[in-house]
Amino acid sequence: MKKGILFILMLVLSVNLFAGKNYYKAELLLKSGDVKQGYANWVAGNNDEFVYYKGAKKEKAQKIEAVKIDKIIFDFDGDKVELKQLKVYKGWSQKKIKGPIWLETVQEGIVTLFVVTSELQGGKDFGGFRGSATFHDYYCIREGEPAAKWISAVSTGNNNQMFRAKAPLYFADYPELAKKIKDKEYRWKDLTTVIDLYNNWASDKL
């Protein structure tokens, strides 16, 4: 994975860090074609009906229906984080659909890669666990698909287990790539490389 992406994920995309109605510099691109520049609350991973927006920091927040927004681009001192709202397949079986939820765009193309990052803080409610754990759930979608597929889950456990099981299914139309994932030639850390390889292969088929 690209170091810049991991840095942004760890520094920015933490549920605890951005909980509540804190506002961050953002550009909202509406489906109508209008663009709003100002400040918005952090929404990654949630499915709230509204996004709260301010044209200036001291203004009163206004509610904008999430379904009217195409994307939100947050700007953290020059580090841009783009969020889009998509439906996703849920659970290991990947049969039922939930959402839509806000996902961060990692890599765009014929297949676009998204991520949702969350953080768990330890305490008495978690068996006495102290400290924190960060989780990254990666999703892929092609144009025309009803929802994004969950292809990789990264935390402190066996990070390659889900990628090895689910990614070959998603990329089954490219058998050579699917086999290399099954054979561990490509692992979860190679996600962006895998997306590049697939998109280059698929573009040649157009």
User: With 90 as the cut, is the pLDDT of residue 101 above it?
Assistant: yes
Nearest residue to 104 (alpha-carbon basis) of 80, 121, 134, 120: 80
User: With 70 as the cut, is the pLDDT of residue 10 above it?
Assistant: no
Enter the pTM of the model.
0.83
Give burial (CB, 10 Å; 0-12/13-18/19+) of 4: exposed
Encode pLDDT of 28-75 as tens digits. Answer: 999 999 999 999 999 999 999 999 999 998 999 999 999 999 999 999
